[in-house]
Amino acid sequence: MNAISEQRPISRVVLLVLVLLWLLGTLRAFALWSHDPLYAYANSYDQTRYTNCFHFYPDRNAEIPPQQNSPQAPFAKYRFIATSDSMCYWSSELAFTGATALIWKVDAALGGDAVHDARWIGALRWLTLLALSIAFSLAWLRRGDAPVAVANAALLPLLFADPGNTLYLNTFYAEWTALLAAYAVFALTLLWRDQLCSRRRCALLALAAFMLATAKIQHMFLPLGLAVVVIVLDRVRTGRIGWRVAALGVGALAGFCLQFAQLHRDGAMMDAIDQYNRADVVFTALVPFADDRGALLQELGIDPACAIYSDHHAWEFPDFPERVCSGLVNFNRRAELRTLLWHPRIAWRLAGHGVLGLDPWIAKNLGEVEGGDFALMPPTIPSVGRWLHASALAQLALLALPFLALLVLLLRPGLRIGSRALDYAAMSATIMLGTFAITVLGDGLADAAKQGHLVVNTALAWLIVTAAAGLATLVSARMSSTPKS
């Protein structure tokens, strides 16, 4: 009886802390979400891959082609416009884009305006994340692990509500969906460690893996990588392969198959993506690090005169890259890997510059203020991205921490004993390495910070969860040891 009564105050304190963290996170996100003029990332061509599925585009002069990009500033207002382009990019991002389009359609049918606010998708994104955060923390509480419940909730104000992420709220980019899916995969895999299988658990974990694999083409291998990590951890620790591997594998394979099919679709959009990616790899990831740029291009079967485009993004070419540089059309992934193998100096230089290219965490080359001309949010709005940008050493240390933790946990207490902390560190390292490799090998250094968005997010999440869980454990221990009056 006394033991139960002594636990109640602690439970109330934990619940109060959780509610405060959820409120602080939501208020921080709301300040950016509701700002007028709109704070968001500008509308590069990437967004039309998704909005084209429902035929809505920025509300602007009718003489401007609906799909034309506008990297100088974001748009808050959109309208439905009939176009002949039926190409639609398959992605789990369409869940949010489609829900927003449905809300706008219903509003218009009820007599609303023909122009619609992008903040609807921002609200849907945040409410989904908030619901997941609450569900996961309550689940950890039911498991009797209050420190992890608090650590999970701490991600909301400290990471998810940071402008490095919330600038994606009122946009139609897929980065937020990828972040949300990765969060769900991590949380479910760790939450259900050593738990019995059920249809609901299998379905939810498979769905999260599928959502991650289909968010962006760059992430098509990530759930498969996580499944391999869980296989190794389960096999060494328990001598068998658990049901989580099957659930992750089903969702990952389904997502991989969809993305594989998408890569082989015909159409101007997929052709342009493929062509631009090849040009970015050659001219931002290979040629800049060659001792003799012209000789490398000749080795690749590309016009050596194109060495003048070294360090140029594909969109900076005077025409489509394949029209400008003869031979580029024949460049493929096999040639890329062969080049890196035969030229290790290029590979090492690329790896080093790729890590540095993850800075800044807040995407560059895109306007952030509606109506501006590449205008940025005022520096008074706090973001961990700015602190990391101010110190390359701090960012390198942040990226190294999960790997150092993994090494320590492998040595002591060891892989065979295992722990949830080891699982978390191993999964974090896998996501970081996988995202980084695919970003650099798939698109060069043309947009490494934005395409590698999950790398910094994963490192920050590991640091926040580890620190918050440790602090909560320490506070709980001190409270338990305090004599009762």
In a domain, 366, yes or no: no
% of the chain exceeding 90 in pLDDT:
80
pLDDT at residue 212 in the model: 98
Residue 8 pLDDT greater than 90, yes or no? no
Query: Which pLDDT belongs to residue 353?
Result: 95
Domains of the chain: total: 3
Amino acid 184: pLDDT: 98
Token pair recorded at residue 433: 């390495």
Full residue range of the structural domain in which residue 457 is found: 9-32+121-265+373-481
Q: What would the pLDDT profile of 321-338 be if each residue is shown by its tens digit? A: 999 999 999 999 999 999
Pick 157 or 481 by higher pLDDT.
157
Which of 87, 120, 153 terminates a domain? The answer is: 120
For residue 15, pLDDT over 60 is answered with yes
The answer as to whether 95 is a domain residue is yes
CA 178 to CA 145: how far, in whole Å? 27
Is pLDDT at 68 greater than 90 in this prediction? no
List the beta bridge partners of residue 56: 80
Q: How many whole angstroms separate alpha carbon 70 and alpha carbon 24?
A: 33
For 241-308, the DSSP string reads: --HHHHHHHHHHHHHHHHHHHHHT--SHHHHHHHHHHHHHIIIIIIGGG-SSHHHHHHHTTS-GGGGG
Q: Could you tell me the two tokens for 279?
A: 């040009």
Same domain, 200 and 340: no
* SS3 assignment, position 328: helix
Domain boundary among 356, 386, 416: 356
Q: In whole angstroms, what is the distance from residue 376 CA to residue 379 CA? A: 8
User: Would residue 368 count as lying in a domain?
Assistant: no
Same domain? 439 vs 384:
yes
pLDDT digits (tens, 9 = 90+) for 180-230: 999 999 999 999 998 999 999 999 999 999 999 999 999 999 999 999 999
Q: Is residue 4 part of a domain?
A: no
Give the tokens for residue 213. Answer: 């694999």
Tell me which of 6-15, 223-232, 288-297 is least confident.
6-15
Per-residue pLDDT tens over the stretch 121-146: 999 999 999 999 999 999 999 999 99
pLDDT tens readout for residues 348-375: 999 999 999 999 999 888 999 999 999 9
- Average pLDDT, whole number, for the chain? 92
| pLDDT attached to residue 483 | 62
Residue 355 near residue 361 (C-beta atoms within 8 A): no
Indicate whether 55 belongs to any domain. Answer: yes
Query: Average of pLDDT values for 296-311?
Result: 95
